[in-house]
């Protein structure tokens, strides 16, 4: 099954056709799927790319050849202003960020520069670009920090305490400040933990577990397995961003609003790993390290505001999203095995499960 060809995605063709759309973070997990959907909608897509990532979904599937690529850094404001001006960008999808908690703990300055500095520089560039009509900024449920009352609603204070969480709190507030002070047409999204095909950060629990099963190795859980998270399928995220931009065009009064996007299901890490193992028909047992630090114990979102104000709901339940994700990785490793068996090292018996 080619999961990219069986999307439930819906969009307004008349809105997107030939629309100039800037996507930052296009080589990331959500960015790759968002670009795919924008191309389906016949948008004119411009991607700001800093590092060349040959295994990124946008490269792997050939979408890189169908977009305009600008090599540059999200922290380079002159570059941002040039891109917005020369390409007459109408809609900005800001996904660029350093997204790994462990890297943020080890390298806080580079995380702050990308996630905070990159956000204010892009907001300022958009403020100075009269053609920009919508700006969607991807924040995170981590922006809320370790709240005492769950689920998070959009009224929960943004109170990150550790480097990654703080970077998302700050970027989120900066985006809102440009909407409230300068009337910049900005909306913020706060999503749970994204998962889906194309995520090659193997220290994340879902791709790491799937790869372990395909290699017939025990999956590794860095924490004690009790951490509870809100898992959000990447194709739902991509279509939600497009839907939000469409709604912003119809309803200018949405500027400055933040929206939680979620399936509103609480799942512990151990439960999630067990579900992946069951779906893949594996009898492997996870290895629990109990080594995670500076991570929030319990997080999940209330998405009622998005349901009511945007008439939005996710298309994929967790079991559907996991099945599509597993299929993507099976295809990915089978292709790698044919190209380079020494690299892929995929077990024939488990790959067929």
Residues 51 and 96: beta-carbon distance below 8 Å: no
H or E stretch including 57? helix 57-60
What are the beta bridge partners of residue 328? none
Q: How many CA atoms lie within 13 A of 5 on its CB side?
A: 3
Structure tokens at 298: 């319990």
Q: How many CA atoms lie within 13 A of 252 on its CB side?
A: 3
Would you name the residues annotated as active-site residues? 164
What are the beta bridge partners of residue 24? 48, 94
Residues 326 and 280: beta-carbon distance below 8 Å: yes
Give whole-number Cα distances, 281 to 213, 276, 278, 326, in Å: 9, 9, 5, 12
Residue among 256, 265, 263 nearest 235 (CA)? 263
Structure tokens at 196: 């889906």
Handedness of CA 108, 114, 116, 121 (dihedral sign): positive
């Amino acid at each position: 099954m080619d999961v990219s060809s069986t999307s439930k995605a819906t969009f307004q063709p008349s809105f997107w056709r030939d629309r100039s759309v800037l996507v930052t973070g296009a080589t990331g997990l959500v960015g790759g799927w968002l670009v795919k959907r924008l191309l389906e909608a016949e948008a004119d897509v411009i991607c700001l790319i800093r590092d060349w990532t040959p295994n990124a979904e946008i490269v792997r599937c050939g979408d890189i050849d169908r977009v305009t690529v600008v090599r540059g850094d999200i922290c380079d404001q002159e570059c941002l202003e040039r891109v917005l001006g020369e390409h007459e960008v109408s809609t900005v999808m800001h996904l660029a960020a350093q997204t790994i908690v462990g890297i943020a703990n080890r390298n806080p300055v580079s995380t702050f520069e990308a996630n905070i500095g990159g956000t204010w520089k892009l907001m300022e560039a958009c403020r100075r670009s009269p053609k920009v009509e919508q700006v969607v900024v991807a924040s995170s449920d981590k922006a809320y920090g370790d709240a005492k009352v769950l689920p998070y609603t959009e009224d929960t204070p943004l109170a990150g305490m550790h480097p990654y969480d703080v970077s998302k709190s700050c970027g989120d507030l900066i985006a809102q400040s440009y909407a409230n002070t300068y009337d910049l047409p900005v909306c913020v999204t706060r999503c749970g933990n994204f998962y889906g095909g194309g995520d090659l950060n193997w220290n994340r629990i879902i791709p790491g577990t799937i790869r372990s099963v395909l290699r017939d190795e025990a999956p590794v859980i860095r924490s004690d397995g009790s951490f509870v998270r809100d898992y959000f399928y990447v194709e739902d995220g991509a279509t939600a961003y497009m839907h939000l931009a469409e709604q912003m065009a119809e309803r200018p009064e949405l500027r400055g609003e933040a929206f939680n996007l979620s399936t509103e299901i609480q799942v512990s890490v151990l439960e999630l790993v067990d579900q992946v193992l069951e779906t893949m028909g594996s009898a492997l047992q996870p290895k629990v390290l109990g080594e995670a630090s500076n991570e929030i114990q319990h997080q999940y979102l209330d998405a009622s505001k998005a349901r009511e104000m945007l008439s939005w709901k996710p298309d994929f339940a967790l079991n559907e999203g996991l099945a599509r994700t597993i299929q993507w990785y099976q295809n990915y490793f089978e292709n790698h095995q044919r190209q380079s068996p020494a690299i892929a090292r995929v077990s024939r018996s488990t790959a067929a499960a």
